[in-house]
Structure 1
Amino acid sequence: MAERDNLSGQKFLGVTLLNAGITVLEIFGGLFSGSLALLSDAVHNLGDTFSIAIGYFAHRISQRSEDDRNTFGYGRAQILAALLNAMLLLVVSAFLVIEAVRRLRHPETIQGDIMLVVAVVGAIANLLSAWLLHRGSKHNLNMKATYLHLLSDTLSSFGVIIGGLLIQWYNVTMVDPIITIIVAVYIAVESWPIIRHTITILMQGAPTMDYEAIKTDLLKIDGVTNVHHIHVWMIDENRIMFSAHVNMRDMKLSEAEVIYHRIERVLAAKYGICHVTIQAEDVRGKDEGLILNEKLTDKL
């Protein structure tokens, strides 16, 4: 496992350096050629470089064990990194669209040959980066997400290549800001779901679940007479936490532990819940709602 993590780290480092290099090349290429599409692709690659680096370091932080400062561990380091990266991409997309609209109103001279050469090199670099992570993407979700993102970067580079060819052959400079707007909108569309999901997690939002079905399944366990005050929330995109008050018939603590294990197995197998906290009760709260303050909310 440690060897696999080390290999993943080496690949992440290689991809980060490769993306940083091509970003610098595209920035200079965009400035010298006057191509906004090339600069937008450079910004996209720059965002990817930071995303890969931040994602890797966040992954390393998330591997730390729970301690007295973070009793749930450090898994949300990756969520914070994802939120930061996605928000930065939205801001960048807005600036790119504003600049592209200005270019449409006031066209500028573009050196299509420089734009084309740099775009081809960028596409090759993105393909190489994707190839470096391809094998790891089969067994690592973090690498898989990065791999798929790099494939989208490759498509963006091919869009710039098409723009460079049109400018080189037909001198259609208008295609440059149009491609920029398409790339910027694509980045924004790709970033927004990430922002929504990360905010939901940070707000301790619950994944979509059928709580009545959960209650029905738990009531099938011998010894359980009622379930109320359910709380479900996500620590990160993979770990779901669950707590509930469970009414049981009067029994020994050793007998209650058997029921605890059965509850944990049902919740893990059927609902993917990884951590369960149960407060056992006899009759207390038996008439209360499934969700805390559910009756009070209904009255209001």
Structure 2
Amino acid sequence: MGHGHSHHHSHSHKDVNGRNLLISIVLNIAITAAQVIGGIVSGSLALLSDALHNFSDVISLVISYIANKLVKQKASLERTFGYKRAEILAAFINASTLVIVAILLIFEAVKRFQNPQDIKSNLVIWLSIIAILGNGLSVLLLKKSADDNMNLKSAYLHLLTDMMASVAVLIGGLLMKYYQVYWVDSALTLAIALYLIVMGWDLLKNSTKVLMLFTPDDIPIDTIIKDVQTIESIKNVHHVHVWQLNEDEIHFEGHIDFTDDISLSEFDTILHQVEELLLHKYNINHINIQPEYGKHDNKEIIVQD
């Protein structure tokens, strides 16, 4: 069986990510504690809901931090892939918590609509400003890495949505202070919750696809097969599996039926051509090929194992 792979890792980049996550954890613990106390004292559901979201931020950041550390662990006989999927699993957990928190907030907002309460708006205003500053700093720390890492994107989204929620709470506090419009507290809570569901669902869907070994969205298997079959001596490509292991690795596994009974050295030359094609055109960097000649098996592209 032919096998090839090409990986590009940056341990220093992961160390920076870990440090930034740790700073964000400390900031969000402080924000959460302040908002819980402030929400209870002021009677603001929006502030308490923001505190609950901040608490979910803390949990998500801790999970992301642990995953960031685990992914550096080396493979072993018991764990042949090491902990390469730790960050994907963290993204799935964090996205799930976003959606769950949002549903809880919707229930609480509906209850508060039915039973509006007076709220101490000054406390709401000052605590929301503190939360905006703290979450804003955390967002800046993780923004650069969020584009190409699903784990950090999940943490980034938690922080970004919470910063936006804090802005909404600040606006609500100002409206309550100067216009005594107390129902806006519940309305903002509902808006925050709906936004969380939208953001969380997309990430939950993407991380689920990776965990379920679905073909990545940007990998056109039919086109890949046609390209590989243009290489001389290759008769048929079948029994194909393509999956994403983590943020850095896309795997291709398949059987290749050859037109002639070629030697191992000839196979190695062809394998190198396949690897170059899949890496440079489709960004597939881990390839497993089973060579065949005259074998009577199922020649369909996709075969259920």
Among 237, 249, 255, the alignment partner of 1:227 is 237
Structure 1 counterpart SS, 2:92: helix
Among 291, 297, 301, the alignment partner of 1:280 is 291
Among 75, 78, 89, the alignment partner of 1:80 is 89
- Asked if structure 1 preserves the Cα contact closer than 8 Å seen for 2:154 and 2:203, the reply is no
For CA contacts below 8 A with separation 6 or more, give which structure has more relative contact order.
2
- Asked if structure 1 preserves the Cα contact closer than 8 Å seen for 2:98 and 2:158, the reply is no
CA-CA distance at 1:234 after TM superposition: 1.8
CA-CA distance at 1:137 after TM superposition: 6.0
Residues 110-142 of structure 1: CA distance to partner in whole angstroms, max 9, x if unpaired? Answer: 111111111111111112223444566688775
Q: Which residue of 2 aligns with 1:130?
A: 139
Determine whether 1:252 maps to 2:251.
Answer: no
Residues 53-98 of structure 1: CA distance to partner in whole angstroms, max 9, x if unpaired? Answer: 2112102111222221222231111122122222222222111111
1:16/1:178 Cα in 2 relative to 1: closer, same or farther (>3 Å)? Answer: same
Where does 1:18-29 land on structure 2 (aligned, <5 Å)?
18-29=27-38
Inter-partner Cα distance in structure 1 for 2:255 and 2:117:
67
Q: Which residue of 1 aligns with 2:124?
A: 115
- Asked if structure 2 preserves the Cα contact closer than 8 Å seen for 1:19 and 1:126, the reply is yes
Q: Which residue of 1 aligns with 2:253?
A: 243
- Asked if structure 2 preserves the Cα contact closer than 8 Å seen for 1:230 and 1:292, the reply is yes
Residue type of the partner of 1:33?
S
Structure 2 residue runs without a partner (length 5+): 1-9
1:32/1:289 Cα in 2 relative to 1: closer, same or farther (>3 Å)? Answer: same
Q: Which residue of 1 aligns with 2:220?
A: 210
1:3/1:85 Cα in 2 relative to 1: closer, same or farther (>3 Å)? Answer: closer
Q: Which residue of 1 aligns with 2:192?
A: 183
Aligned residues with identical type, % of pairs:
37
Q: TM (normalized to structure 1)?
A: 0.90
Inter-partner Cα distance in structure 2 for 1:123 and 1:149:
13
RMSD: 2.2
- Asked if structure 2 preserves the Cα contact closer than 8 Å seen for 1:231 and 1:244, the reply is yes
Residues 136-169 of structure 1: CA distance to partner in whole angstroms, max 9, x if unpaired? Answer: 6688775566446533322221110000000000
Where does 1:89-104 land on structure 2 (aligned, <5 Å)?
89-104=98-113
Count of aligned positions: 294
Determine whether 1:152 maps to 2:157.
Answer: no
CA-CA distance at 1:275 after TM superposition: 0.9
- Asked if structure 2 preserves the Cα contact closer than 8 Å seen for 1:40 and 1:184, the reply is no
Among 10, 21, 30, the alignment partner of 1:12 is 21
1:113/1:182 Cα in 2 relative to 1: closer, same or farther (>3 Å)? Answer: same
Inter-partner Cα distance in structure 1 for 2:14 and 2:237:
41
Q: Which residue of 1 aligns with 2:67?
A: 58
CA-CA distance at 1:176 after TM superposition: 0.2
CA-CA distance at 1:245 after TM superposition: 0.6
1:193/1:132 Cα in 2 relative to 1: closer, same or farther (>3 Å)? Answer: closer
Inter-partner Cα distance in structure 1 for 2:98 and 2:143:
24
Among 262, 276, 282, the alignment partner of 1:265 is 276
Inter-partner Cα distance in structure 1 for 2:265 and 2:294:
19
Q: Which residue of 1 aligns with 2:182?
A: 173
Inter-partner Cα distance in structure 2 for 1:199 and 1:144:
15
1:15/1:240 Cα in 2 relative to 1: closer, same or farther (>3 Å)? Answer: same
Residue type of the partner of 1:156?
A
Q: TM (normalized to structure 2)?
A: 0.89
Determine whether 1:291 maps to 2:298.
Answer: no
Inter-partner Cα distance in structure 2 for 1:219 and 1:6:
42
Inter-partner Cα distance in structure 2 for 1:91 and 1:131:
26
